[in-house]
């Protein structure tokens, strides 16, 4: 099937056969639902976990350089505030950026060819459930400004926007040669003097020392699904807090899962993300080296890592996100749309903090006064 035929087929499958409206994916299901007449269409494809396989990294990079990778057309709008590029929802005439809350210039949206993801993790958490997760998280924040908390509690699901965040997933088997030193403890008896009840006594004690011995060796590690967010619009630390994702529920990419939601276009490419992935693998490799060195202490002098069988998956992972400005500063709140995990930035109420400090000072003064009066 040609690209044009496949695109036409997807577009037609998004139309309600009853009233002609655009069908939207229903979170937590395998179906599309019409918001106007309630018609439900099933999505036939259901990828089995055993069929989730990476593509060869080197081949993928070569296809990108030769412009032979699989692409699809999408209407994309770029935010003039933060630079994030996201797909546009149909029939939208005014909107705001999900990452920085800036107004989007919808007139600048363009139809362009974008890289087709390998897999998509469909939304499971509904917008109303995400709001509840959001409110629960907010209620646990100490020293949050009262007006902000009230704004969140009085808000609705319109505060949150459903967005698929692009991620790169890496699989690899590493082979590492290292050199280092193994430290082994040994003890000597030391004599010392100590004054006891006005008398000087001679005593002994065991003193620990470390003997270092040069060592070298090799270790092997297998890594699966090392995730790196391809979206600088969402801080990397925040993206990592949302982990783990339910990757066993990945579906082979189907545009119907995106209907009713936005998808951000990746801004960090696969080669750039691999550098980050290697950084994430490094502590695991170093721990393996230390285990291999053994002894009581370990010192790694140098190591060289080979990344074999390097595989890659381009994924779209779902979040509910809210971005707003408070006192001129931008804050993000993000809900993992599979697990309900919540993370975000938060402002502090210095009035509340000052009040608590004042209370602590008063308690200390009262306790001191009572102790002096006895």
Q: Cβ-count burial of 255 within 10 angstroms (0-12 exposed, 13-18 middle, 19+ buried)?
A: buried
pLDDT at 54: 94
Question: How many angstroms from the chain centroid is the CA of residue 122?
Answer: 16
Which residues contact residue 122 at a Cβ distance below 8 angstroms, ignoring those fewer than 6 apart?
25, 27, 249, 251, 257, 318
What residues are paired with 334 via a beta bridge? Answer: 321, 343
pLDDT tens string, the chain, 374 residues long: the values are 333 334 334 444 567 777 777 788 888 888 887 777 777 877 876 444 457 899 999 999 998 888 777 777 788 888 888 888 888 776 666 778 888 878 787 777 788 888 899 999 999 999 888 888 877 777 766 655 555 555 555 554 456 889 999 999 999 999 999 999 999 999 999 999 888 888 888 999 999 999 999 999 999 999 999 999 998 887 778 888 888 999 999 999 988 898 888 899 999 999 999 999 999 999 999 999 999 999 999 999 999 999 999 999 999 999 998 877 767 777 778 899 999 888 877 655 555 556 667 777 777 877 767 777 65
Q: Residue 208: which H helix or E strand, with range? A: strand 199-229
CA atoms of 256 and 254, how far apart (whole Å): 5
Q: Which two tokens stand for residue 84?
A: 């994030």
Cα separation, 198 vs 347, whole angstroms: 60
The pLDDT assigned to 237 comes to 81
Task: Compute the distance between CA of residue 208 and CA of residue 188 in angstroms, rounded to an integer.
Answer: 7
Residue 303, pLDDT score: 98
Beta bridge partners of 194: 201
pLDDT at 295: 96
Give this prediction's pTM.
0.80
């Amino acid at each position: 099937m040609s690209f044009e035929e496949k695109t036409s087929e997807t577009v037609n499958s998004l139309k309600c056969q009853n009233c002609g409206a655009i069908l939207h994916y229903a979170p937590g299901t395998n179906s599309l639902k019409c918001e106007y007449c309630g018609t439900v269409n099933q999505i036939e494809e259901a990828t089995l976990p055993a069929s989730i396989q990476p593509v060869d990294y080197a081949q993928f990079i070569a296809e990108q350089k030769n412009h032979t990778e699989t692409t699809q057309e999408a209407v994309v709008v770029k935010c003039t505030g933060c630079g994030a590029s996201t797909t546009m929802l149909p029939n939208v005439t005014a909107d705001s950026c999900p990452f920085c809350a800036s107004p989007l210039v919808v007139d600048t949206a363009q139809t362009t060819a974008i890289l087709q993801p390998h897999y998509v993790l469909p939304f499971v958490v509904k917008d109303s459930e995400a709001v509840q997760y959001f409110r629960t998280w907010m209620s646990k924040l100490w020293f949050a400004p009262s007006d902000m908390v009230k704004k969140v509690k009085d808000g609705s699901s319109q505060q949150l926007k459903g967005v698929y965040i692009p991620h790169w997933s890496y699989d690899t088997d590493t082979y590492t040669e290292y050199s280092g030193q193994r430290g082994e403890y040994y003890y000597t008896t030391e004599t010392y003097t100590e004054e006891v009840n006005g008398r000087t006594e001679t005593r002994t004690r065991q003193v620990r020392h470390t003997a270092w011995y040069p060592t070298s060796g090799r270790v092997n590690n297998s890594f699966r699904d090392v995730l790196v967010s391809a979206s600088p619009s969402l801080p990397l630390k925040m993206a990592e807090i949302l982990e783990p994702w339910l990757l066993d529920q990945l579906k082979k990419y189907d545009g119907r899962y995106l209907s009713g939601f936005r998808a951000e276009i990746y801004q960090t490419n696969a080669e750039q993300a691999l550098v980050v992935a290697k950084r994430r693998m490094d502590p695991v490799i170093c721990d393996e080296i230390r285990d291999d060195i053994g002894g009581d202490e370990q010192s790694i002098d140098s190591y060289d890592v080979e990344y074999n069988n390097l595989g890659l998956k381009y994924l779209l992972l779902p979040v509910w996100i809210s971005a707003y400005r408070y006192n001129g500063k931008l804050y993000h709140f993000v809900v993992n749309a599979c697990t309900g995990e919540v993370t975000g930035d938060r402002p502090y109420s210095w009035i509340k903090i000052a009040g608590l400090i004042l209370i602590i000072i008063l308690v200390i003064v009262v306790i001191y006064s009572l102790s002096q009066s006895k």
